[in-house]
Amino acid sequence: MLCDKFLRIQQLYRTAALLALITIGYNLVEGMVSVGLGAADETLSLFGFGLDSFVEVISGLGIWHMVRRLRRGEEERRDAFERRALRITGGAFYLLAAGLAVTAAISIHAGHRPETTVWGIVVSLVSISFMWLLIRHKTRVGKALNSPAILADAACSRACLLLSVVLLASSAGYELTGIGSLDSLGSLAIAWLSFREGREAFGKANGMACGCSCSCGDASD
């Protein structure tokens, strides 16, 4: 019985580690696609969304490291590597937020209009679907392991989901109305969310259990 329980727990941690690696890989691909298409179509919101995905990769590496530690039976309190990753993530989010805010303000002043935001719609719909699945699976694993850290990671994935919704709203809004400033306004919203993610990352690095704007245990089942 004890052996079966141990094997079950190890399998759950392997699943959690795999989910972390999938998240890292997806964010890398999403970042490259979004930055490339955003630059080609002069879509500021899609470009900023792609840069945000690259920053999420750093955070994902910290999560993957954490899961590997937990699998070895170590405590859930973050170690030096994870705190360093969080601080790097926080700093990168702050820089991204500042850059996007300045660029969006300049674009609004200049009356910039993207060539198209169709790819923003496509990327955001794919991202919403993928993040929804990740939240579900991470939550199930976290509940099965009774791990606040893994549940917090699942809950914080909602920030990525919200970013995708913002991208979808600004991209679809532009295609429907042709109002160029909607793309820049979407970029400003992404800048604000990036700033908030940066603040949360620094908070977690300083010992907060969950810096997300959501409960650590209320992610979707």
Mind listing the pLDDT tens digit of every residue in the chain (221 residues)?
Answer: 667 777 888 898 999 999 999 999 999 999 999 999 999 988 999 999 999 999 989 888 988 988 888 888 777 677 787 888 888 888 989 999 999 999 889 888 888 889 899 999 999 999 999 999 999 999 999 899 888 878 877 877 788 888 999 999 999 999 999 888 898 899 999 999 999 988 888 888 787 655 454 444 444 44
How many residues does the structure list for the chain?
221
Distance CA 218, CA 57 (A): 24
Distance CA 151, CA 139 (A): 6
* Contacts of 73 by beta carbon, 8 Å cutoff, 6+ apart: none
The Cβ-side half-sphere exposure at 199, using a 13 Å CA radius, reads 10
Q: What angle do CA 181, 183, 187 make, to 5 degrees?
A: 110
- At residue 70, the pLDDT reads 83
Helix axes 80-110, 181-205, angle to 10 degrees: 160
Quick one: tokens of 189?
Answer: 């919203």
Domain at 10-205: CATH architecture:
Up-down Bundle (1.20)
Cβ neighbours around 169 below 10 Å, total = 18
Distance CA 183, CA 26 (A): 24
Give 111: exposed, middle or buried? Use CB within 10 Å, 0-12, 13-18, 19+: exposed
Whole-Å CA distances, 77 to 30, 58, 68, 113, 213: 30, 19, 13, 47, 20
- Comparing CA positions, the residue from 153, 128, 125, 124 lying closest to residue 45 is 124
Q: How many separate helices (H) and strands (E) can be counted in the chain?
A: 6, 0
Query: Which one-letter amino acid corresponds to residue 115?
Result: E
Query: Which one-letter amino acid corresponds to residue 50?
Result: G
